């Protein structure tokens, strides 16, 4: 069947993802289930590459990001902060900001319908980029959490712009500034999630619906997305740059350093 | 009574509408109930004229668009696509785009409170322009459907701009790209409809409320609407132009031609 | 305890407010409970001063506006319109517009998290500025009412811009043009209120939560708010100017004069 062949043929290309194209759909699976799909530096780059391929592929009408295992994604892998290069932590912070900005840009510019299939809890960057997706379907087991201020950090993924527009300002502030965790149903009421499905039937219902979307005229979808998005693209890129600038400063702050050290201390004690 | 007189005096002016002014309210009725109020080319122009008159009329505080019969409006009359002029279908597409752009502009620029009284199902252009109304009251029998991509087309009526702002982006995408039909209650939860009424008491409750609105100080309403809308007017006109440009291309595409042919084939078989 | 000391030390500074700083929180209480906290000209200025102080104070992470007594605030004190200076009512209107514009600017520019604790009914300007707060917590006894057109006036506090963005346009129009009163739960569903609490436990639950917010890293909160707000600041100031210009004209209109005279006539009869 398509799944095995595709999986084999792309198995060599990606270390951290599984990418399958079938039924006019490119499915990008985050594939570090043993680490709750935490995103490493390599993974940021591979997701960007997979999006580039899906954008170019003539057989791809719909593109989906989802996760293998229990989690959708536990966010930025904090080990990304522990490989401090010889040039010092300033270099690490500015390298990370470059990688993050490029990663988010891929979502801003993606030209075809982009759908998130949230198979479990989502944290940090895997939540903030959802405002750049066209549809977000979630299992009722999913939760959404962006504990930035708790970690001395600040929002990314254009969420400082998209979340207030989707949720209304004061609901977005609870999430982005005050670390409020949302259930799938809460996220749906706030408009971050398009629809919630019972976990037992989630995969079946969602993929069935996506197959029907894959049969629609591609150009109408692409041009309709363009009409909806193009008016905001420039703005979104500007927001992305500002958010990454701010994080570069935040990552070097005492607030953030102390929060990360305390995270690893707690982990070491387990 | 006012109704009959007004109806008589304007009866000669409009072939496809009934227009009545009473109680400081101008009521524009779509008047092709036997065709579910599908909008012909003449009807686009007459609605524009009726809006111009209501804007100028000193006795009009509130202006209402509604339909006679079971439907609010079944959308663009597909027969508009069958009268291909000698110059060819390119000419038909560009003429249609000019008519559509002028039609939508009337709603963008309308200076007084504009209220939709949705007396039954609404389809296509009669749904997309709702984002340009100030209030939308609907019977619980109403539904809202914009099957653009199914027909190889793309959104108009500024909906590519207004729907994401009203509903949040991902809910708008389901409606505008993926042909999702909304019930009146769903449309109300998403903010497209202001309030839903039981069909049995719909007309009585709505017109009673509108009469009380008609007694408010006109200038306060006009200036308040100006404050709310003027910041977006330029943007809305730009969106309107882009949407019509895109539709001109879509109408000539194979996707669209095939969908329209298949529509008439099905109809012929009935 | 902190409350008494602070209250004493600031008692001389403000005639119409009580301002207390404790637990990293500056609490600004509207303090004319016998007048339902109606805002006098002096009070507009004192609120501005208290916000300036909270912005500068190093110990303040979170700033709260709330009211003493049963009301949050009954809006602009209509007695503000009765002290007509020798230069005539044009002078009164233009002075009032200057005061209002400066007042609203303080909220637009406030750099730290700003939270409204709505302890009872809110009317007029005390409702419209809520779109400039980061969080709005309300007792279930609160209501929200902006009867502008009824009084021949027009929206302020940037509500002509913030309300359509928070509620969706057509729900905002019912509130801003058609004098619709919202219950706390309705305001929460529309996104104007972040969360509603039972009146019996309101004060306890809200202040407990705010104390925990006060312990978060200040800079992350300030910078995150900056990211969210800075893109709109210029726009909000422009809206504020336009709204005040319009009100200057409205206050001198017959619509408004008649409404105010009728208000005081009714009051005199009681």
Which one of C131, C166, C216 has the shortest CB-CB distance to A149? C216
A220–B148 CB contact, under 8 Å = yes
Per-residue confidence (pLDDT) for residue C261, from 0 to 100: 84
Measured in angstroms, the CA of A160 and the nearest CA of chain C are apart by 5
Q: What is the spatial distance between Cα A54 and Cα B12, in angstroms, rounded to a whole number?
A: 58
A173–C227 CB contact, under 8 Å = no
Measured in angstroms, the CA of B159 and the nearest CA of chain A are apart by 8
Give the CA diameter of chain B: 55
> Average pLDDT of B217-221?
93
| B239 lies within 8 A of chain A by CB | yes
Chain B residues touching C170 at Cβ < 8 A: 133-136, 166, 191-194
| A111 lies within 8 A of chain B by CB | no
Q: Which residue from A13, A17, A63 is spatially nearest to A40, judged by alpha carbons?
A: A17
Q: Looking at chain A, which residue has its C-alpha nearest residue B157?
A: A227
Following CA atoms C146, C147, C153, C159 in sequence, which dihedral angle do they give, to the nearest 10 degrees?
Answer: 20
| pLDDT tens column, B249-264 | 999 999 888 888 887 8
Residues 70-109 of C with CB under 8 A from B: none
| Region of poorest pLDDT, from A3-12, A256-265, C8-17, C54-63 | A3-12
∠ CA B234-B238-B243, rounded to 5° = 145
Residue C157 pLDDT greater than 60, yes or no: yes
Per-residue confidence (pLDDT) for residue B3, from 0 to 100: 43
Which one of C194, C220, C225 has the shortest CB-CB distance to A171? C194
C221–A177 CB contact, under 8 Å = yes
> Which chains reach chain A with 3 or more Cβ–Cβ distances below 8 angstroms?
B, C
Which one of B149, B168, B170 has the shortest CB-CB distance to A224? B149
Q: Which residue from A10, A69, A73, A3 is spatially nearest to A39, judged by alpha carbons?
A: A73
Q: What is the spatial distance between Cα B134 and Cα B113, in angstroms, rounded to a whole number?
A: 6
Token digits of residue A40: 């490493």
Which of helix, strand or coil describes residue C85? coil
> Average pLDDT of B16-42?
97
| B133 lies within 8 A of chain C by CB | yes
Look-up of token digits 């906290």: C37
Please identify every stretch of chain A with a pLDDT value under 50, giving residue numbers as ranges.
1-11
The whole-chain average pLDDT of chain C stands at 93
B268 exposure class (CB count in 10 Å sphere: 0-12, 13-18, 19+): exposed
Per-residue confidence (pLDDT) for residue B257, from 0 to 100: 87
Q: Are strands C143-145 and C182-183 parallel, antiparallel or unpaired?
A: antiparallel
| pLDDT tens column, B67-77 | 999 999 999 99
DSSP codes, B152-212: T----TTHHHHHHHHH-HHHHHHHHTS---EEHHHHHHTTSSSEEE-GGGHHHHHHHHHHH
Which residues are bridge partners to A138 per DSSP? A118, A196
> Average pLDDT of B93-119?
97
E strands along chain A, which residues? Answer: 17-22, 25-30, 62-67, 114-118, 122-123, 135-139, 143-145, 182-183, 195-197
Which one of C161, C168, C246 has the shortest CB-CB distance to B191? C168
Chain B residues touching A134 at Cβ < 8 A: 169-170, 173, 177
Which one of A134, A216, A226 has the shortest CB-CB distance to B170? A134
C155–B191 CB contact, under 8 Å = no
Residue B9 pLDDT greater than 70, yes or no: no
B155–A228 CB contact, under 8 Å = yes
**Substitution target from B153, B177, B179, B237 for chain A, most A beta carbons within 10 A:** B177
Q: What DSSP character marks residue A132?
A: G
Chain B residues touching A224 at Cβ < 8 A: 148-149, 154-155, 160, 176-177
Token digits of residue B239: 């969106």
∠ CA C161-C162-C168, rounded to 5° = 95
Q: Looking at chain B, which residue has its C-alpha nearest residue A226?
A: B160
Per-residue confidence (pLDDT) for residue B130, from 0 to 100: 98
C173–B223 CB contact, under 8 Å = no
Q: Looking at chain B, which residue has its C-alpha nearest residue C148?
A: B220
**Band (C1; pLDDT cuts 50, 70, 90):** very low
ipTM for the complex?
0.92
Q: Looking at chain A, which residue has its C-alpha nearest residue C130?
A: A170
Per-residue confidence (pLDDT) for residue C12, from 0 to 100: 65
Token digits of residue A167: 């949720």
Q: What is the spatial distance between Cα C81 and Cα C264, in angstroms, rounded to a whole number?
A: 11
- B138 CB-near residues (< 8 Å, 6+ apart): B118, B184, B187, B188, B193, B195, B196, B197
> Which chains reach chain B with 3 or more Cβ–Cβ distances below 8 angstroms?
A, C
Per-residue confidence (pLDDT) for residue A4, from 0 to 100: 42
Q: What is the spatial distance between Cα C136 and Cα B262, in angstroms, rounded to a whole number?
A: 53
Q: What is the spatial distance between Cα A195 and Cα B156, in angstroms, rounded to a whole number?
A: 25
Q: What is the spatial distance between Cα C72 and Cα A13, in angstroms, rounded to a whole number?
A: 62
Per-residue confidence (pLDDT) for residue B84, from 0 to 100: 84
Q: Which residue from A70, A37, A65 is spatially nearest to A141, judged by alpha carbons?
A: A70
> 10 Å Cβ neighbour count for B221?
24
Residue C149 pLDDT greater than 70, yes or no: yes
> Average pLDDT of B190-195?
97
Which residues are bridge partners to A20 per DSSP? A27
Percent with pLDDT over 90 in chain B? 83
Measured in angstroms, the CA of B242 and the nearest CA of chain A are apart by 7
Q: What is the spatial distance between Cα C152 and Cα C159, in angstroms, rounded to a whole number?
A: 17
C99 exposure class (CB count in 10 Å sphere: 0-12, 13-18, 19+): middle
Q: How many CB pairs under 8 A join A and C?
A: 88
Chain C residues touching A150 at Cβ < 8 A: 216
Q: What is the spatial distance between Cα A91 and Cα A112, in angstroms, rounded to a whole number?
A: 35
Pairs from B258-262 (Cβ < 8 Å, separation ≥ 24): B258/B152, B259/B150, B259/B151, B259/B152, B259/B153, B260/B78, B260/B81, B260/B151
Q: How many CB pairs under 8 A join A and B?
A: 88
Per-residue confidence (pLDDT) for residue C54, from 0 to 100: 98
Q: Looking at chain B, which residue has its C-alpha nearest residue C236?
A: B231
Q: Looking at chain A, which residue has its C-alpha nearest residue B190?
A: A191
B50 exposure class (CB count in 10 Å sphere: 0-12, 13-18, 19+): buried
Which one of C166, C195, C224 has the shortest CB-CB distance to A169? C166
**Band (B2; pLDDT cuts 50, 70, 90):** very low
Q: Which residue from C15, C18, C12, C128 is spatially nearest to C67, judged by alpha carbons?
A: C18
Better-scored residue on pLDDT, C209 or B81: C209
Measured in angstroms, the CA of B72 and the nearest CA of chain C are apart by 19
Which one of B133, B194, B219 has the shortest CB-CB distance to C255? B219
Which of helix, strand or coil describes residue B65? strand
Residues 161-220 of B with CB under 8 A from A: 161, 164-165, 167-174, 176-179
Q: What is the spatial distance between Cα B219 and Cα A9, in angstroms, rounded to a whole number?
A: 69
Q: Looking at chain A, which residue has its C-alpha nearest residue B251?
A: A220
**Substitution target from B137, B192, B194, B230 for chain C, most C beta carbons within 10 A:** B194
């Amino acid at each position: 069947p398509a799944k095995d062949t595709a999986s084999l043929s792309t198995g060599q290309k990606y270390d951290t993802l599984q990418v399958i194209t079938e039924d006019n759909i490119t499915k990008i699976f985050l594939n570090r289930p043993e680490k709750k799909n935490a995103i490493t530096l390599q993974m940021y780059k591979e997701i960007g590459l997979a999006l580039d391929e899906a954008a170019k592929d003539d057989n791809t009408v719909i593109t989906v990001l989802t996760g293998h295992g229990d989690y959708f994604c536990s966010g930025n892998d904090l080990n990304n902060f522990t490989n401090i290069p010889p040039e010092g932590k300033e270099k690490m912070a500015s390298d990370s900001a470059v990688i993050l900005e490029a990663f988010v840009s891929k979502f801003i510019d993606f030209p075809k319908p982009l759908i998130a299939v949230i198979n479990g809890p989502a944290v940090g960057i895997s939540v903030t980029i959802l405002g750049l997706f066209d549809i977000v379907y979630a299992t009722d087991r999913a939760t959404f959490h962006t504990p930035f201020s708790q970690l001395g950090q600040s929002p990314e993924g254009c969420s400082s712009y998209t979340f207030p527009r989707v949720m209304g300002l004061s609901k977005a502030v609870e999430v982005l500034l005050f670390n409020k965790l949302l259930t799938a149903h809460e996220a749906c009421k706030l408009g971050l999630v398009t629809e919630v499905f019972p976990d037992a039937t989630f995969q079946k219902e969602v993929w069935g619906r996506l197959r029907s979307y894959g049969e629609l005229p591609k150009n109408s979808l692409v041009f309709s997305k363009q009409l909806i998005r193009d008016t905001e693209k420039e703005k979104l890129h500007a927001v992305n740059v500002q958010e990454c600038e701010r994080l570069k400063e935040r990552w070097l702050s005492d607030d953030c350093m102390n929060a990360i050290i305390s995270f690893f201390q707690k982990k070491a004690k387990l």
